Amino acid sequence: MAAQRGEGETTTTPLEPADRERARAIPEAAVARLAVYLRVLSGMADQGVTAVSSEELSQAAGVNAAKLRKDLSYIGSYGTRGVGYDVEVLVSHIERILGLTRNHSVAVVGIGNLGHALANYGGFPGRGFPVTALFDVDADLIGVPVGGIPVSHIDDITAVCLEREVSIGVIATPPPAAQSVCDRLVSAGVQCILNFAPVVLQVPDNVEVRKVDLAVEMQILSFHVARRADEAASVSVGNNGLGVDGMVIRP
Amino acid sequence: MAAQRGEGETTTTPLEPADRERARAIPEAAVARLAVYLRVLSGMADQGVTAVSSEELSQAAGVNAAKLRKDLSYIGSYGTRGVGYDVEVLVSHIERILGLTRNHSVAVVGIGNLGHALANYGGFPGRGFPVTALFDVDADLIGVPVGGIPVSHIDDITAVCLEREVSIGVIATPPPAAQSVCDRLVSAGVQCILNFAPVVLQVPDNVEVRKVDLAVEMQILSFHVARRADEAASVSVGNNGLGVDGMVIRP
DNA sequence: TACCGCTTGTGAACGCATGCACAAAGTCGG
DNA sequence: CCGACTTTGTGCATGCGTTCACAAGCGGTA
């Protein structure tokens, strides 16, 4: 069924066979950085910048220059030695590799605080990710337009997703509902899911899940706060031989 | 100044020297997974489960069992061979390593759609991350309580953050404001920042930044959609010798 | 007490990603 | 047209993270 849906639409800027093999070989980490480069480059293009060196671009993107060049080499050699890269050219090649020449219709499930924020988020449509469907269980919400799209009932997920050719599902439901919503999205043919619920989703192999987990992010930061505090404490141990609470610590 | 602030508060469950060295050595990737294990374990504890094996836990967390054991070994040996792990014990040790025995006061800057969602997000306070300050520039918002906390003006960021001992700053502003907000947070002594704005923040070495970038996540998914479509196309090439648009492709 | 089966903890091998350093290749000035 | 300078593209070494495989250790059982 996924194949059926795809078949009628693959008229989109087809990748050359050479590019196709390249795309397969791009490391996941590099893909994430390419997206960042793309944004930086777009910003530069908007400001009228036409050329950029790996050094400049890498600084703006906050990465090592060599790494940036290697990342770009994964998608081909589009720079000019001694000069740098043409911003426009780079933008269009990154967009092509990332599949941004095609629009990816997005469905948001769970129209709570976060769902509202996502539905209204201006960054999506502008970048080729039109939100075309919203879902919730709350009867009071059904039919109410949020960000211009009326909310559908979650039971209609399969029909609506198929009809609107949704390719990316965003889960913004409470944790208990997430797995069930995920299953429904999958059976509606959605193969890419962005999960905001703090739950580990179980999906078949052919479905790609990325998760955004606020609690985990906070706890990673917390770990670093604690590590810092400990380092500070270690220093004070070195200074006076006393632990943080005044007890002597063996060397 | 960070040291000053920390000094009066380091009465929190001090890490033993041995643990301190361990904490320094834990790989970043493992820290992120520990947070996930913690959530899964908490859920198990709530359901009355008292013991768990690495196999069970790894399945629930969606990772390899060996990796899980190695991750846990970074924080010490708290399992029993032949039996498994005590859920309570594991929870308390992970919490200690992640620094969750201490409360981390959070400030949210930018009370738009996302800021509202974050301020109202129930997952924070419950897990030791009380939101204690909200900031915005919009005069209409100042003083209005959101999620129980009145919004302060962004110009008061330094004073308010110092007063409420904010240790984590969350940036949910439009992109152009992000760097300036970040600078103000840093000068207010905040050393950990969670950034939702699609901007690469420049910060001093002693500040930890984690970013949540929706556009990047979507584009990574888009890349996978494109790769899949290409693979499907490749298969059809193998079947009939024709490319996606009917042109013959050399083998 | 001695054995058996089970699960942890970890040494070692592997693979991926990062960073260095330099040759290749282009531009620009003379 | 040539040489000097600049910047890309990449082979190679290094380090980190993952995975495997197995010895060590514990509880249960006879």
Contacting A residues, span 90-119, partner chain B, CB-CB under 8 Å = 97-100, 102, 104, 106, 112-114, 116-118
Q: Domain count of chain B?
A: 3
A110 and A183 inside one domain? yes
The 10 Å Cβ neighbour count of residue A28 is 9
Q: Which residues of B touch A5 (CB under 8 A)?
A: none
Is the pLDDT at B156 greater than 60? The verdict is yes
Contact status of A3 with chain B (Cβ, < 8 Å): yes
pLDDT interval class at A141 (50, 70, 90): very high
Q: What is the pLDDT of residue A233?
A: 72
* Cα–Cα dist B247/B251, whole Å: 12
Do B187 and B170 touch, CB atoms closer than 8 A? no
pLDDT in tens, B75-114: 999 999 999 999 999 999 999 999 999 999 999 999 999 9
B218/A194 touch (CB, cutoff 8 Å), yes or no? yes
Same domain, B86 and B145: no
Could you tell me the pLDDT band of residue A207, with boundaries at 50, 70 and 90?
very high
- Are B111 and B86 contacting, i.e. CB atoms less than 8 angstroms apart? no
Higher pLDDT, A18 or B53: B53
Is residue A84's beta carbon less than 7 angstroms from any atom in nucleic acid strand D? yes
Last-in-domain residue among A42, A69, A97: A97
Q: Is residue A165 one of the residues assigned to a domain?
A: yes
Which pLDDT score is estimated for A114? Answer: 93
Does residue B203 sit at the A interface (CB-CB below 8 Å)? no
Q: Quickly give B90 CA vs C5 C1' distance in Å.
A: 25
- Domain-located, residue A1: no
Looking at CA atoms only, how far is residue A82 from chain B in angstroms? 27
Q: What per-residue confidence (pLDDT) applies to B160?
A: 97
Of all residues in chain B, what percent are helix, strand and coil, respectively (each to 5)? 50, 15, 35
What value does the mean pLDDT take over residues A27-40? 96
DSSP string of chain A, one letter each residue: -HHHHHHTTTTSSPPPHHHHHHHHHS-HHHHHHHHHHHHHHHHHHHTT--EE-HHHHHHHHTS-HHHHHHHHHHT---EETTTEEEHHHHHHHHHHHTTTTS---EEEE--SHHHHHHHH-THHHHTT--EEEEEES-TTTBT-EETTEEEEEGGGHHHHHHHTT--EEEE-S-HHHHHHHHHHHHHTT--EEEE-SSS-----TT-EEEE--HHHHHHHHHHHHHHHHHHHHHHHHHHHSB-TTS-B---
Residue B4's pLDDT is what?
A: 35
Strand C bases contacted by the protein (CB, 7 Å): 5-11, 16-21, 24-27
What is the pairing mode between strands B84-86 and B79-80?
Answer: antiparallel
Who wins on pLDDT, A10 or A99? A99
Based on the fold, state whether residues A168 and A229 are members of the same structural domain: no
B12-28: pLDDT as tens digits = 445 555 565 556 689 99
Last residue of some domain: B75, B97, B119?
A: B97
**Predicted local distance difference test score (pLDDT) of residue B19:** 60
Tell whether A240 is covered by a domain.
Answer: yes
Asked whether residue A128 is domain-assigned, the answer is yes
Structure confidence by residue, pLDDT tens digits, A146-163: 999 999 999 999 999 999
- Position B251 confidence tier, pLDDT thresholds 50, 70, 90: very low
Cα distance from A28 to chain B (closest Cα, Å)? 8
d(C-alpha A209, C-alpha B205), whole Å? 32
Closest CB from A124, A213, A225 relative to B192: A225
pLDDT of B36-84, one tens digit each?
999 999 999 999 999 999 999 999 999 999 999 999 999 999 999 999 9
For B:64-93, CB contacts with A below 8 A are none
Contacts of B62 in chain A (CB under 8 A): 200-202
Are the C-beta atoms of A226 and B99 separated by less than 8 Å? yes
Same domain, B16 and B76: yes
**Confidence class for position A21, pLDDT limits 50, 70, 90:** low
pLDDT (0 to 100) of residue A72: 97
Chain B segment 130-159 residues within 8 A of A by beta carbon are none
Closest by alpha carbon to B22, among B69, B59, B72? B72
A25 pLDDT tier (thresholds 50, 70, 90): confident
Q: What is the DSSP letter of B13?
A: -
For residues B119-127, average pLDDT: 79
Share of residues in chain A with pLDDT > 90 (%): 75
Complete edge-to-edge strand list for the sheet that includes strand A106-109:
A145-146, A149-153, A131-136, A106-109, A168-171, A192-195, A208-211
Based on the fold, state whether residues A208 and A224 are members of the same structural domain: no
The CATH number of the domain holding residue B32 is 1.10.10.10
pLDDT tens digits, one per residue of B190-237: 999 999 999 999 999 889 999 999 999 999 999 998 888 777 776 665
- A247 pLDDT band, cuts 50/70/90, is very low
Please report the pLDDT score of residue A17 as a whole number.
57
pLDDT of A124 reads: 74
Q: Which of A28, A191, A227 is the closest to B228 by Cβ?
A: A191
Q: What is the pLDDT of residue B16?
A: 56
Q: Alpha carbon B62 to chain centroid distance? A: 18
The C-alpha of B207 sits at a distance from chain A's nearest C-alpha, in angstroms, of 10
**What DSSP character marks residue B14?**
P
End-to-end CA distance of chain A, in Å? Answer: 66
Please indicate, yes or no, whether residues A92 and A34 belong to a single structural domain of this protein: yes
Structure tokens at A3: 């194949």
Residues of the domain holding A128? 106-212
- A182 vs B: CB within 8 A: no
CB-based contact (8 Å) between A29 and chain B?
no
**What per-residue confidence (pLDDT) applies to A169?**
97
